[in-house]
Amino acid sequence: MNGEIRRLLGEDLANYLELLRAKMAFAEELYGIKINYVPLVIGGEIVVLDKNDGKIKWLKTKRPLTVEEFKSLSEKIRENLESGYVEMLLAMNMSCVNGPGE
């Protein structure tokens, strides 16, 4: 994650994004499916967290957000992280996959 973006997001939420990447990796191991992205902002253009490199990107182009783009979306990203919305989106996808023993 770019240092400027990390500063704008705040240390707590930047650390949370690292934890979220670990949760994605755990879900991959548990369910045996590849999870490359988790949505951070949906509606219009979708913004995702890339598990592989930890960058925040546009889903359509896979291009990392510029600092200016991040500034314009930072409040929505923060809101979605703090409210648990991003966690819900990750968990919703898991119900589509047969769990262990099923």
Entry field: residues in the chain: 102
In a domain, 15, yes or no: yes
- Please report the pLDDT score of residue 62 as a whole number: 95
**Short-list 40, 84, 86, CA closest to 59:** 40
- Looking at residue 98, what is its pLDDT? 53
**pLDDT of res. 96:** 53
Give pLDDT, residue 100: 47
Read off the pLDDT of residues 25-73 as tens digits, 9 standing for 90 and up.
888 888 788 888 999 999 889 999 999 998 999 999 999 999 899 889 9
Quick one: what percent of the chain has pLDDT higher than 70?
87
**Band of pLDDT at residue 18, cut at 50, 70 and 90:** confident
99 belongs to a structural domain:
no
In the chain, at which residue ranges do the beta strands (DSSP E only) sit? 37-41, 47-50, 56-58
Domains contained in the chain, number: 1
HEC profile for 54-80?
CCEEECCCCCECCHHHHHHHHHHHHHH
Q: Is 9 domain-assigned? A: yes
Full residue range of the structural domain in which residue 80 is found: 3-94
Q: How far apart are CA 7 and CA 89, in angstroms?
A: 25
pLDDT (average), residues 88-94:
74
φ/ψ of 58, rounded to 5, equals -80, 130
Q: pTM of the full predicted structure?
A: 0.80
